[in-house]
Each structure stands twice: as C-alpha cells, then as structure tokens.
Amino acid sequence: MSVKHSNRYKEIGIKISKYRNKKGLTQEQLANEIGISYSYLTQIEAPNVCKKMSLEVLFDIAEVLGVDVKELL
C-alpha cells in the first residue's frame, strides 16, 4: 500500500472514531452492530495503524453511525 493511501485509511479511521464517540457508542458496540470483530475495529480506528477495509464495511459503519459515507472520506 502506498503512503498516500495509508494516510487516507488513517484519516477515515479517525473520522469513524469521531462520529462513533459523538453517537455515544463504544468500539465494541459498533463492531457488534456491523458484524466485525472488536479488534478489527480498533485497528481501523487506531491513528498509528493502517488497516484496509472493504466498501461493505465502510457502508455498514456509515449506516450505523447515521452519516453519509462521504462524511467518512
């Protein structure tokens, strides 16, 4: 993965964390709602980790958080 894309994944993770906290959900609650593991979500949100995710996961996260997927990009 190129550095350019690495930074984009990290930015998405930070935005997911922001909207999750705004909604009052824990990482475990969000992970359960979208059907992924808690550890996978923590990796997605970690600002020092670059974790790939599918569009399906991104769409599911946006839906549960009640935001348009564009807000996460």
Mean pLDDT by 10 residues, the chain (73 residues): 77 96 98 97 91 94 98 96
Alpha-helix residue ranges (DSSP H) falling in the chain: 3-23, 27-34, 38-45, 55-65
Q: What angle do CA 31, 32, 37 make, to 5 degrees?
A: 55
Q: Which residues contact 34 (CB under 8 A, 6 or more apart)?
A: 57, 60, 61, 64
- Cα 36 to its chain centre, rounded Å, is 11
The reported pLDDT for the residue numbered 3 is 64
Using an 8 Å Cβ cutoff, are 72 and 62 in contact? yes
The reported pLDDT for the residue numbered 2 is 56
